[in-house]
Amino acid sequence: MCGLTGYIDLKSGRPPDKTVIERMTAALVHRGPDSSGFHFGKHIGLGFRRLKIIDLVSGDQPLTSADDSIVLLCNGEIYNYKELQAGLKDRSVRFKTRSDVEVLIYLYQEQGTAFIQNLNGQFAFAIYDQTRNRLLLARDPFGICPLYYTIVDDQLIFASEIKSILQHPVVSAGVNLTGLDQVFSFPGVVSPQTLFKNIHSLPPGHMLCVENGKIQQQKYADLDYPTNYSHIKSEQDYMAQLDELLQRSIRYRLQADVPVGFYLSGGLDSSLILACGASELSPTRPHSYSITFAGGEEDESDYQAQVAAAVGSQQHGINFNLAQDYTEFSRMIYHCECAVKESYNLCSLALSGMVKQHGVSVVLSGEGADELLGGYPGYRFDAGHYHSDSDDWMQQSLEEELREALWGDSDLFYEKNYYALSELKTALYAPAVNAQYAEFAATRHSPVDKNMLLGRDPFNKRAYLDYRLRLVDHLVADHGDRMGMANSVEIRYPFLDINLVKFTTTIPPQFKVRDGVEKYILKRVAANRLPKAIVNREKFGFHAAGTPPLLQQGSEWVNDMLSYARIKRQGYFNPDSIENLKQQYSKPGFQLRIPYEDDLLMIVLSFNVLLDVFNLPDYP
């Protein structure tokens, strides 16, 4: 993983300001502490920070074609690069490096933009074709690598993180209320929205093409479930292919010229990845890294120890307590660049910090299996949740209208009743903000491509929404990439291998959840590799401590951030409503019923810290 940035003048051909590019690049030093590189053209400037993982000697970027007409910046990894190199038609190609990403230049020269369909990896890249005056920006199908952009003063400005874009003098920081409303409404912010006004996140599986000042965006990949399963195989066939694809994916993700470690939660997914990875690395003992919560209900250290002993890993744990000081919380917000619903990002930040202290720059993690193979309770309980439980026929009718607008299906329940939620949100927002609510509401437009839900099995509708709303812009983005790269650690996700993911869409739902057992087919695959206690565990819904214990402990900075005077001055929230929530959360013994209740004050608290960290304006 690395960091890329740059800007191109769309009309007048103004030359780039080298000082500006250098400042934008410096803002990404945590993503790439090992080296930097630049390219300056007639009206484009590019900057790069590198975290060295493959080809430590000659792989610095930008990379160029033999005739220097093509310039490449790539953040991420192309796992099938050796096969791609072997498949090039032009046998005269002489690679300048042993880097995995250099092959993109020659694929582009041979195939044009269609080459992106052949990539197996996690990536965000910029290719500048000087001959055609064409700039391509693209993000991988699962949004593992971030890419943001804005258009100001006839300039397209882009970067791996928003903080880099904010270094450009024509960009002013403001709040995007739709992004904030998405955090209240969905698992997190959903691309193309961000928390920053006029700054967009390139959605996963999308490419942006800028040619002679004209901009076109197109989708090249999505999670496409079948509308029917006409040729159903045996359970053994599905198990065998899932096992083979997962092992191949793990082998791909062990490619590195630096040490590779494993995150270990104690659950099925990370444990299986560690077990398979340990077999590949044998006789070397892999290093595994875990968060522990000594004495807490969330502690999984016993399960972690069982797995480590079974596979022979060198286990490392770090005990976590919810940060009482502003410094670490604000550092977390600085890196994730959004408001959050819970404090687990702090755990991820501490975990990647421990990994880096051990001299490890790459870790494998288990995200993706729950979304692709039915790992959340909602997959088991959908049948009882598909209709509103309201006795108010008007409210039920309005709720169904919202679901139709959001998902194209009035019966599809996803996490919340959105009409009731809108009433809650308007109670929290300040009157001046509510006056604009109809314009910025997250439910005004669907955050997903409803065509990908049309005609699909209810199980797969939920899976698609989990992929699009929970996984790509939250779990592998602000929670994964941003918290890893804050400490210069690259996180790789074997369950998000493009071939494995495509295969999971062909597995009928009855093999994913059977007799109330979630991830049934994956548990069958894991049965011979892991202790029974791990395989037979139900999904453990980990939830980090939130604002109630902070308020009950009298945290000074939290009380200051949520004070009546500050809330009133900032103008985004109703100070009376926030004060009522504070009094409720502060009562001794009060606990939220997570995940059935959101930590509303955590969203307000983290948003207020975001305002401070990025010097965002009060509401006008």
Task: Indicate the range of 9-13, 43-47, 365-369, 580-584 predicted with least confidence.
Answer: 9-13
Per residue in 209-256, pLDDT (tens digit) is: 999 889 999 999 999 999 999 889 999 999 999 999 999 999 999 999
Which pLDDT does position 392 carry in this prediction?
74
**Residue environment code for 121-131, b if the CB has 16+ CB neighbours within 10 A, otherwise e:** bbbbbbbbbbe
Helices vs. strands in the chain: H and E counts, helices first: 26, 17
Q: Comparing 237-246, 352-361, 538-547, 574-583, which segment has the lowest mean pLDDT? A: 538-547
Give mean pLDDT, residues 284-288: 96
pLDDT of 382 reads 64
Average pLDDT rounded to a whole number, residues 33-41: 97
pLDDT digits (tens, 9 = 90+) for 87-131: 998 888 999 999 999 999 999 999 999 999 999 999 999 999 999
Percent of the chain residues past pLDDT 70, beyond the cut = 97
Distance, in Å, from the CA atom of 201 to the CA atom of 208, rounded to the nearest integer, reads 11
Q: Rounded to an integer, what distance in angstroms lies between the CA atom of residue 267 and that of residue 364?
A: 14
Q: Give, for 137, the enclosing helix (H) or strand (E).
A: strand 134-139
- Which candidate, 98, 371, 389, 336, places its Cα nearest to that of 195? 336
pLDDT tens per residue, range 425-452: 999 999 999 999 999 999 999 999 999 9
pLDDT band at 295 (very low <50, low <70, confident <90, very high): low
Res. 195: pLDDT tops 50: yes
Q: Are 190 and 475 in contact (CB under 8 A)?
A: no
Q: What percentage of the chain carries pLDDT values higher than 90? A: 87
Q: Distance between CA atoms of 519 and 377, rounded to whole angstroms?
A: 11
E-state strands within 162-319: 200-201, 206-211, 214-219, 260-263, 287-292, 314-319
- Comparing 555 with 495, the larger pLDDT belongs to 495
Does the structure show a pLDDT above 50 at 469? yes
For 370-393, the pLDDT digits (tens) are 999 999 988 877 644 444 455 677
Residues near 31 by beta carbon (within 8 Å), at least 6 away in sequence: 1, 2, 3, 49, 51, 75, 160, 161, 485, 488
Q: Please give the Cα distance from 302 to 311 (Å, whole number).
A: 15
What average pLDDT does the structure give for the chain?
94
Q: How many residues can be counted in the chain?
A: 620
Residue 543: per-residue pLDDT: 65
Q: At what angle do helices 301-311 and 268-281 cross, to 10 degrees?
A: 20
What's the pLDDT tens digit per position in 143-189? 999 999 999 999 999 999 999 999 999 999 999 999 999 999 999 99
C-alpha–C-alpha distance, residues 558 and 368, integer Å: 33
> Where along the chain do its domains lie?
2-219, 235-378+461-534, 547-613
Q: What is the mean pLDDT of residues 275-300?
A: 87
pLDDT attached to residue 384: 42
Which helix (H) or strand (E) element contains residue 127?
A: strand 121-129
Q: Please tell me the distance from the alpha carbon of residue 3 to that of residue 518, in angstroms, as a whole number.
A: 37
345 contacts: CB under 8 Å, gap ≥ 6: 332, 336, 478, 479, 482, 483
User: For residue 323, what pLDDT band results from cuts at 50, 70 and 90?
Assistant: low
Q: Which residues lie across from 362 on neighbouring strands? A: 260, 490
Q: For residue 112, which phi and psi values (nearest 5 degrees)? A: 70, -155
Task: Report, as an integer, the average pLDDT of 319-336.
Answer: 87
Pick the CATH number of 235-378+461-534 from 3.40.50.620, 3.30.870.10, 2.40.50.140, 1.10.10.60: 3.40.50.620
pLDDT at 620 over 70: yes
Q: What is the pLDDT of residue 541?
A: 62
431/573 Cα distance (integer angstroms): 8
Report the CATH architecture of 2-219: 4-Layer Sandwich (3.60)
Instruction: Give every CB contact of residue 169 below 8 A, 6+ residues apart in sequence.
Output: 20
φ and ψ of 327, to 5 deg? -60, -50
What is the number of other CB atoms lying within 10 angstroms of the CB of residue 225?
21
State how far the Cα of 201 lies from the Cα of 547, in Å rounded to an integer.
29
- Both tokens of residue 292? 């522990």
Please, how many CA atoms are within 13 Å of residue 122, restricted to the half-sphere of its CB? 25
pLDDT at 465 over 80: yes
Beta-sheet strand order (sheet of 121-129): 63-64, 70-78, 121-129, 134-139, 206-211, 214-219
List all residues 6 or more positions away from 597 whose beta carbon is below 8 Å from its beta carbon.
Answer: none
206-211 vs 134-139, strand pairing mode:
antiparallel
What confidence score (pLDDT) does residue 278 get? Answer: 95
Q: pLDDT-derived band of residue 190, with 50, 70 and 90 as boundaries?
A: very high
Domains 2-219 and 235-378+461-534 share a fold: no
